[in-house]
Structure 1
Amino acid sequence: MSTSQSPRSGTRARIIAVALELFSEQGYEKTSLREIADRLGVTKAALYYHFKTKDDIVHGIVATMAAPIDETIAWGEQQTWSPAVRDELVRRFAAGMTERIPLLRFFHENQPALRESPAGLEFKARMAAMARLVHGPGASFDDRLRATMALFSVNSAFFLLKNDTEDASGCQPHGGGSDHAATLDDAVAGALTVALENAARIEPRQGV
C-alpha cells in the first residue's frame, strides 16, 4: 500500500505552510488570499478549490498543527488521574508543542483577530481540556490555576526564545544586561522544568 501523499492533500499542506508564514510575517488581518496565492504561484481560483476563506485556512492550520494536543488529550482521557499521569501529560504536551512552535507564534502574534474566531475558540477549548486533565477531578481553584500555568509556561518559553532570536538578529549590544540568549534546547528544557514544577504543586486527592 502506498504511503505517498495525494496531490490534493499535498497542495493543502503547501497552502497551510505558506499561509502560516505570511500570517506570522505580516499578521492575519493584513494578509489577503491573493498574497497567499501569489506566494504559492497559483491562481486565486486554484486556492478557492481548497479553502474558500482565510478562516477556512486558519481552521486547517489548527487542525493540522494541533494534532499532538489532540493525541495527548485522547491518551489522558483513557487514564485514571495520578501524579504520574499528570506529569506524563505535561511531558507529552511539551514535546508536541516543541514540534509546533510556529502555531504558538501564530496565535500569539494574531491574538486580537483570532480570539473569537472559530479556530481560536477551538484552540482555547483544547487548552482548557488539557488543563482539566492535568489537574484532574475535584481540583481546587489554586490547582486549576497551577495546571493552566504549567501548560502556558511551555508556550511562554517559546515566546521568550523568539525574543532572544530577534534580539540576536538585531545585533543588540551586550552592555545593556547579562541575560543569556536561549537556544531551542534551552527553551525545551526550561519549559519542561518549569511546567513540571508548577504541576508538582497540584495536591493529590483522596479517592480519585
Structure 2
Amino acid sequence: MTVEAPDDTRTRILRAALDLFAEHGYQRTPLRQIGERLRLTKAAILYHFPTKEHLLTALIEPLVSDLEALLAAAEAGPPERARATVLEGWVDTMLAHRRPLGMLFHDIALVTRGDTYHRLMRIAMRANDLIAGVDAGRRERVRAVQAVAMCSDPVVFFADVPNAVLRADMLDGVRRLLGDPPVDSDPTGDSGPVGDTGTAGVRRRPGRPRAMGPEQVETARRMHAEGAHTADEIAAALGVSRATLYRHLDPATGE
C-alpha cells in the first residue's frame, strides 16, 4: 500500500477547508475560495472530494472514528472502569479535535445529513449506556446524557482556556454531577464556603488540599512540560498551593 506524503494535495485541501469553514462558515465558503487559497482549480478539488459535503464528512471523520474506538475500548475493558474510561476519554477526544468542533458549532445542522449523523447518534447512545450503568433508572440515564454534554460543550464555549486547565475543570464538573468523589477541590480555587459539602456528601476541608490525585499530577506535569504556564498558574488552575505542586513534580527533572 502506498503511503501518502504528509503534505499531499488531499491533506492541503482539508487543512484549507477547515481554516475557511472555521473563519467564514461552511455555507459561506465556496469550493472556488478553497481553490484560490491553494492555487488549485475547482476541478482539482472535485477530483479528491466530489462535493463540498464530502469535504465536511472527511473533516469530521477523525473525531467520529476516535469516539468509536473509545467506546469499543470501554466496552472491552472491566465494567467497573467503563464510566471513567468514557468520561475521561470523551474529554480528551473533544480537546484533541477542538478546531473541527468549533467549525461545527456554526453549522451544526450539517451533521444531520447522511451516515455521519446516524453514527453520531449510535455513539451517543452507547456512551449514555456505559455512563449510566447496567439497570439504570430514568434519573441515572438523564444524568448520563447531561454528562456527555458536560464533556463536550465547554470545548467550544471556552476556546481560549488551555487544554490541561479545561480538562481538569470539565472532569471535576461531571464527577460532581454524577456524585463521584472529586479528585480535588474546584480547579479555579472557588470551591464554595468553608465546610460546604459536595454532591458526594463529603465535607470540604478549609484551605487548599495538601495532596494531588494521579490525574492532577499528570495534568500538572503536562502543563509544566508545555512551558506555557508558570508554577503559580498551574497551582491556581489545580486548586493547590505552590508547595504542594512541587512535592508532586519529579525533583530530579523539575517535571
Q: How many residue pairs align between the two structures?
A: 180
In structure 1, stretches of 5+ residues that fail to align are 166-181, 202-208
Aligned counterpart, 1:185: 164
Aligned counterpart, 1:128: 125
Q: Is the 8 A contact 1:59 1:118 kept in 2?
A: no
Q: How far apart are 1:8 and its partner, in Å? A: 9.1
Structure 1 position 154 matched with structure 2 position 133: no
Structure 1 position 65 matched with structure 2 position 44: no
Q: Is the 8 A contact 1:86 1:199 kept in 2?
A: no
Question: 2:123 and 2:15 mapped to 1: Cα distance?
Answer: 21
The structure-2 alpha-carbon separation of the partners of 1:126 and 1:198, relative to structure 1 and needing over 3 Å to count, comes to same
Q: How far apart are 1:199 and its partner, in Å? A: 3.8
The TM-score with structure 2 as length reference comes to 0.62
Aligned counterpart, 1:176: none
The structure-2 alpha-carbon separation of the partners of 1:86 and 1:136, relative to structure 1 and needing over 3 Å to count, comes to same
Q: Deviations over 1:35-83 (max 9, x none)?
A: 122222211111111111111111111212333212101112223532x
Higher Cα Rg, which structure: 2
- What is the root-mean-square deviation in Å for CA atoms of aligned residues? 2.6
The structure-2 alpha-carbon separation of the partners of 1:17 and 1:121, relative to structure 1 and needing over 3 Å to count, comes to farther
Question: 1:137 and 1:9 mapped to 2: Cα distance?
Answer: 46
Q: How far apart are 1:9 and its partner, in Å? A: 8.3
Aligned counterpart, 1:75: 73
The structure-2 alpha-carbon separation of the partners of 1:114 and 1:85, relative to structure 1 and needing over 3 Å to count, comes to closer
In structure 2, stretches of 5+ residues that fail to align are 181-255
Aligned counterpart, 1:16: 14
- Counterpart AA for 1:23: F
The TM-score with structure 1 as length reference comes to 0.74
Q: Which structure has the higher relative contact order (CA within 8 Å, separation 6+)?
A: 1
Structure 1 position 27 matched with structure 2 position 6: no
- Counterpart AA for 2:25: G
Q: How far apart are 1:190 and its partner, in Å? A: 0.7
Aligned counterpart, 2:105: 108
Aligned counterpart, 2:176: 197
Question: 2:129 and 2:8 mapped to 1: Cα distance?
Answer: 35
Structure 1 position 40 matched with structure 2 position 38: yes
Aligned counterpart, 2:50: 52
Question: 1:155 and 1:48 mapped to 2: Cα distance?
Answer: 32
Runs of 4+ more than 4 Å apart: none
Tell me which protein shows more helix as a share of its residues: 1
